[in-house]
Chain A
Amino acid sequence: MTPVASHRRKRLAEAMRQAGLDVIVLAGNAWQNDYLRYATDFAILEGQGLAVMRHDGNVALYLDSVLEAERAAVECAGVAVVHAPDLAAAVDEALNRLRNQRIGGAPYRLLPRRIAARAKDLNLSDETTFLDTLLMAKLPAELDAMRRAARLADDGYAVFLQAARPGRADYELVAEVEAFYRANGVDDNFQIIGVGGPEVRGMAPPSGKRLKAGDLVTTELTPCVDGYYCQICRTLVVGTPTTEQQAAHALYRDAMEAGIAAVRDGVTAAAIARAENDVFRHHGLGDYVTSEYTRVRGHGMGLFADSKPHLLENVTTRIDAGMALIVHPNTYHPVVGYMVLGDALIVTKTGCEVLTKMPRELFSVGV
């Protein structure tokens, strides 16, 4: 077991004892795996997993894929791995043997219906918020992993820049980044991309679009190192940027830097989002910070690429030292199209430590 995984499990066991929880059931899959990974350190690829952890630190990991169970038996030290083709039935049976104890579940909405339907009988409660608190407030070892992931976010973007040239398809750029990441021990990467001009309203997986002169190419790269995802958002132009593209980028940079300047221990998520959005409003672009054009103005990072808290003006979550965030005023610009810029950071008592070092410029690749 890695030191960071060991620290996490001890912390979770201690928190369970303090909260009076005897057992916790954690659900996970390759989409959302942060809760499951917190206890097991397993990076699930296929199928579904459920971990049953007791307050003494004992963990059983149930996996419905035989290939994944085989892999987990090698990769997950200190965890009892159970291959359970009928996952819900196997865990239901295991919980049945524990039903005189206080059991929690997280994330509750992802627990199989069969288990959640027996909540009363099993003395099972929704403990998603309990886990969220641990996921957001990171241990020093977790922050070190975030720093390592940030270096690979920068390096990955350098590979992306090198790969971008006229005539190449969007998925070919992603292929170059993925090859670099696999060769450098990065298990996973959240990445979406946008290619084009004012007709582009957001980012999505590659669709086969080929880069041409004048295109904005947006991407958010999120490599996963030892389980921890760290994101960077940058925009490049194919050819020489226009005056409009440069002016738009300057506005996004001001917004991101205003958001970063607002980060410190004790502020709310809303305060950071408001600092970013005020820059757009000041330039008469207030409409473009609404949900019609943008999802969030940043978010937490860690064992999930899109962790809580979301940076939005209606999210009052307190920001604490030790949280990892990305501040990204990504949105549609009515003149040049969708543009992104974002840096990852760790919240400190007096401000923040910016993790990603890639220059905050509108990059240009030759035609």
Chain B
Amino acid sequence: MRRGLMRWNAEELPLAVLQERTARLQAAMRQENLQALLVYTNLVRPSAVTWLTGFTPYWSEGLLLVGRDGAPTFATALSKRVASWIRSVSPLGEILNAPRPGTALGQRVAADTSVCRIGVVELDALPSGSYDDFSAAAPAVELLDATALFAGARRGADAAERHLLARADAIAVAALEQVDAAGATDAGSVAGAIEKHARLAGAEEVYITVASDLMADRRMIRPSAVALGDIFALRASIAYKGCWVRRARTFAKDAAARAAMARGDAWFAQVVQSIAPGKPLADQINTQVQAFGAKLESWMAESCLGSYPLQVIASSRSSSNGAPATGDFVVLSLALTIDGVPWVGAAPLIVGAAL
């Protein structure tokens, strides 16, 4: 569950920004002749609703109905007693507290005979309970997948989102700075220190994973009391006001390996600044790694396009080799071998601009 700081701040996320996002989505809906759009949320898949309303559920689930015009309506299974809290973190639109959000919104739609085509973000993945409730209450309405439509309208981070992403990133960077590689003993204690620092700085959520002995295994798992090896890596996935970033860093106890780590970190910082629009990511990464003289083990680019905070948009495992556009938000993760030493890193970026 979310248990970090959750508070709407009008300076960070002005109401006008939310209204502009909704209007942009409604324009896209009109082009597709959709009279409404349905968006699901829970704490694992919050991001589409967060982008539109600022609201992230700390628990439970809900559905947002975006009409042709005006503010959206949010229906949630969170109880009526929590309504004042929801209003305090979500300034936009009507809030319906209903044990079955699908039924509540379906009934509302059914009452408007002009609504016959509704888009659903990630229709196939919509929980069957929500789908069945909505369909039963509005049987005459045609439900169509609107994942691509939403992603198109949502693509490109506006100034408010960039500000929140930058804040999340600053929290992640500062939290990972707490790691004293030479003195670190077990993964659990290190993770606890990172998490504490991030939460004290106002993080809404913090996930820490660790590769405790990078020479043996690069895969990251949840931290436990396991001893840290000579070279280890930590990944901090941090949310601030609904915006998620990842930072990963490699740490070495030995001075010689630390030099390789520092070289990798400095090079990666420059790579993150240099990702250009209009050029395939795979080509850009391969060129940069070649020039650096390291061995590329794997790479991954994530962004936020739908309900997931971060989803893979391209990687060394996939055949897609898309080109990012100016203003796209990307988290870039790389795994290299530098002078025979394993190194991993991850950082967020805005294509063609500073974060």
Tell me the A residues contacting B by CB distance below 8 Å.
Answer: 29-31, 43, 45-48, 66-67, 70-71, 73-75, 85-89, 108-117, 169, 171-172, 174-176, 178-185, 187-192, 201-202, 204-208, 291-295, 305
Tell me the B residues contacting A by CB distance below 8 Å.
Answer: 1-7, 42-45, 58-61, 79-82, 84-85, 88-89, 123-132, 188-189, 191-193, 195-196, 199-200, 202, 206-209, 217, 219-225, 237, 300, 308-310, 312, 315, 317
A31 touching B44, Cβ below 8 Å: yes
Given the interface pairs A67-B220, A74-B217, A74-B221, the reply to whether A182 lies near B3 with Cβ below 8 Å is: no
Residue of A nearest to B199 (CB): A175
Residue of A nearest to B9 (CB): A208
Q: Which of A30, A43, A294 contacts B222 (CB 8 A)?
A: A43
Q: Which of B84, B85, B128 contacts A108 (CB 8 A)?
A: B128
B195 touching A109, Cβ below 8 Å: no
For the complex, what is the distance from the CA of A108 to the CA of B60, rounded to whole Å? 16
Label chain B's interface by main secondary structure. mixed
For the complex of A and B, list the 8 residue pairs with the smallest distance between their C-beta atoms, beginning with the closest: A109-B129, A116-B128, A179-B196, A175-B199, A183-B192, A182-B192, A114-B124, A171-B5
For the complex, what is the distance from the CA of A204 to the CA of B7, rounded to whole Å? 11
Q: Which of A110, A183, A208 contacts B7 (CB 8 A)?
A: A208
Given the interface pairs A67-B220, A109-B129, A185-B225, the reply to whether A31 lies near B196 with Cβ below 8 Å is: no
Q: Which of B1, B4, B43, B209 contacts A71 (CB 8 A)?
A: B209
A205 touching B44, Cβ below 8 Å: no
For the complex, what is the distance from the CA of A307 to the CA of B313, rounded to whole Å? 36
**Residue among A190, A205, A305 with the most chain B CB within 10 A?**
A205
Residue of B nearest to A338 (CB): B81
CB-CB under 8 A from B123, the residues of chain A are: 113
Given the interface pairs A46-B44, A113-B125, A295-B79, the reply to whether A176 lies near B3 with Cβ below 8 Å is: no
Q: Which of B82, B188, B200, B309 contacts A175 (CB 8 A)?
A: B200
For the complex, what is the distance from the CA of A205 to the CA of B231, rounded to whole Å? 36
Given the interface pairs A202-B81, A206-B5, A207-B6, the reply to whether A113 lies near B127 with Cβ below 8 Å is: yes
CB-CB under 8 A from B224, the residues of chain A are: 185
CB-CB under 8 A from B221, the residues of chain A are: 71, 74-75
For the complex, what is the distance from the CA of A347 to the CA of B199, rounded to whole Å? 37
Q: Which of B60, B192, B195 contacts A31 (CB 8 A)?
A: B60
For the complex, what is the distance from the CA of A286 to the CA of B311, rounded to whole Å? 49
Shortest CB–CB separation between residue A129 and chain B, in angstroms?
15
Residue of B nearest to A305 (CB): B1
Residue of B nearest to A116 (CB): B128
A206 touching B6, Cβ below 8 Å: yes
